[in-house]
Structure 1
Amino acid sequence: MKRRTFLKFGTAAAVGALDAPFVHAQSKKFAGITLRINGYGGLYDETFMKSVGAPLEERYGLKIQFNSGATGSDLIKLIANKDNPPYDMYMADSAVMVELLKAGVIEEIKQADVPNIKRILPGFREYGDYGVPFNVASVIPVYNSKFIKQPLTSYSVLARPDLKSRVVIPAPTQDTASLYLLGLAEENGGSVTNMEPAFQLLTAAKPNIVALAQTNVAEVQIFQSEEAHAGSFWDGRAHELRTKGLPIVTVVPTKGIYSVVIYINIVKGMKHPEAAYALAQQLLSDQGMLGIPQALRYGVTTDVNLPEDLRKDLLFNSSERNALKKKVDWQRWMADRGDRIERVNKIIRG
């Protein structure tokens, strides 16, 4: 069966339009195939399995196997084993995509192979035909309204005098979580090629900073213990804190929001590309797209219709909000990583 013919059947089956015996037989064409994917662990992987893995197994007999681990070590493992890759598909954020492309370990994914690619919103596919974006997470200012009565409005207000000894920010070693630094730069006349305004603002904010969080879990704990009342954090994690009973307010900076997109990629040399296309097609379907946002409140990347209860919790929930997503030069951001880490540590710990 030709590739495009398969996808026509796949799309029709997804909406329950074809029930003929022939189509039912074809729907199990991937029986016996297991796609190995790196995982992020916990609820993320569990939700992915429910909204993507389970429907694919029921429809096509296709199985998914997550090998969850640390992103850095997973990436090293993949690049070091190009001839015998440990994964068939690879999840990566915008920053890691730079490394994948540099290493030449992923394949292009065309709309002809995955028709639902046409549903991806402008600005969310940052690397041409490489990678299928399916989640977006944003680094934003947040604060605890129990203690902070004057609302935060931008990244730069983290230097406000009334926040002395009450701010937590991610450590600069967290490449994407530290995008708040780019926000500080651009809000104050700088850019990814001129980060000096960010470092000056950070110097002014130093009396406010009580902790550099090394991990997301550590930052959650700092907010829960009320050791910090404000800071920069992921929008999905802010929602998590609200579900734990904390009055954490999500700020929408009017000058722009700094976000990272999560992609699924096809690893070069994997043996079952049509099965991978079927997974990407399901991931971009309404069922696949809404799974993780419903569980974790990370944003969507397609034109899916958002249920009202979900819409109110998502940062990107309208065309106006989508327009606030700032474009990031990821190659330059990653190239300057070492200098950025050194400078921030010198300011905060010096």
Structure 2
Amino acid sequence: MKRRRFLTSAAAAAAFAVAAPYVRAQSKKFSGITLRVNGFGGVWDETLSKRVVAPLEEKYGLKVQFIAGTQAADLVKLIANKGNPPFDMFEADSAYMVELLKADVIEEIKVTDVPSIKRILPGFREYGDYGVPFSVSTVVPVYNSKYIKQPLTSYSDLARPDLKGRGVILAPTLDTSSLYLLGMAEENGGSISDMEPAYKVLEAAKPNIVAIAQTTVAELQMFQAEEVYAGIFWDGRAHELRSRGVPIVTVVPPKGVYSIASYMNVVKGTKYPEAVYAFAEQLLSDQGMLGIPGAMRYGVTTDVKLPEEMHKDLLFNSPERNTLKKKVDWQKWMAERGARIERVNKIMRS
């Protein structure tokens, strides 16, 4: 080979080598797209970034920006900017799904868009074709086995005389954390339309309740400091206490438990619906689904096989446990919020 031809060939090969990464990057389906989603902050967003976003970025070039805030404020922002939505996806708990649908700011997600929707367990998708549920949090009775020797078995057990001065409940101001009241009602012959049995239990439990926790962090600190021995708490937070060495037992009432699902939604007006579908598909994959329970021990929504170290810690870890998840009429529950808060406050202040 002549030197001139050799140099020309070498130059071409070098140019191709330099250009190849660029060509590969440009061939990624969603290269140059950044999805915006309201975030919850902390470990939650970090886990989704690692288990959902990172694989999508590697495979498709897709980037996702989590904008940490509160659901209530972000919902207002979304509704106020329908014409130019600030988010492409919207994370919402079961109760907030009602508001999203009323405001007509989210699109349906069908199995043809996200095939892994077929893996969602019965009863975990509450709003037809709207939203993809990917995590479940349950409000349950808990107790410290170091001090409480007779196990609690129900929401109503919070009224047991032996718990005097050692109980805590979550504030009734949120539709989600107040679900224990529905548990008390239904355990005693009541219903969402007849809450009187719950209020009778709460009146009986009043001598036991030394605190109404306004935040989950405040309640966690009370249990850790052993200021309270029993109460109502989130299943994932109970696991957090156990991981810190506090012997907190999670109770699974045999008549059923009350949960909220966290949903990912396609925002109406997004420019990138296909990218959102790809995010949802990865979210429901085994890799994505095991992220939140691995980090925080909140429940899964699909038929994913649970590793043994998670299986023993998750409330919903078998078909039998799954059947205990009670259906909640969120629209009715939210409509009665004001009356509920007023009645609980009246009982606790009397």
Give the structure-2-normalised TM-score: 0.92
Q: Is contact 2:236-2:296 (8 Å) kept? A: yes
State the distance in 2 between where 1:69 and 1:320 align.
36
Partner of 1:19: none
TM-superposition CA deviations, 1:249-291 (whole Å, max 9, x none) = 0001000011111100011101100000000000000000001
Partner of 2:12: none
Partner of 2:14: none
Q: Is contact 1:154-1:253 (8 Å) kept? A: yes
CA apart distance, 1:227? 1.1
1:141 aligns with 2:131: no
Give the structure-1-normalised TM-score: 0.92
Bigger Rg, structure 1 or 2? 2
State the distance in 2 between where 1:91 and 1:106 align.
11
TM alignment of 1:181-200, pairs within 5 A: 181-200=181-200
1:204 aligns with 2:204: yes
1:237 aligns with 2:237: yes
Partner of 1:158: 158
Q: Is contact 2:142-2:248 (8 Å) kept? A: yes
Relative to structure 1, the CA distance from residue 27 to residue 207 in structure 2 (aligned partners, 3 Å threshold; closer, same or farther) is farther
State the distance in 1 between where 2:331 and 2:271 align.
30
CA apart distance, 1:77? 1.1
TM alignment of 1:214-225, pairs within 5 A: 214-225=214-225
State the distance in 2 between where 1:292 and 1:275 align.
21
**Any gaps of 5 or more consecutive residues in structure 2?**
1-23
State the distance in 1 between where 2:214 and 2:25 align.
51
State the distance in 2 between where 1:195 and 1:178 align.
12
Q: How many residues align?
A: 328
User: What letter is aligned with 1:124?
Assistant: F
State the distance in 2 between where 1:341 and 1:264 align.
29
Q: Percent identity?
A: 75
**Any gaps of 5 or more consecutive residues in structure 1?**
1-23
CA apart distance, 1:25? 7.2
CA apart distance, 1:81? 1.2
CA apart distance, 1:26? 8.5
Partner of 2:327: 327
State the distance in 1 between where 2:84 and 2:169 align.
39
Q: Secondary structure at the match of 2:92?
A: strand
User: What letter is aligned with 1:340?
Assistant: R
TM alignment of 1:1-350, pairs within 5 A: 28-350=28-350
State the distance in 2 between where 1:220 and 1:74 align.
26
TM-superposition CA deviations, 1:288-339 (whole Å, max 9, x none) = 0001100000000001011111101100000000011101111100111111
Q: Is contact 1:94-1:262 (8 Å) kept? A: yes
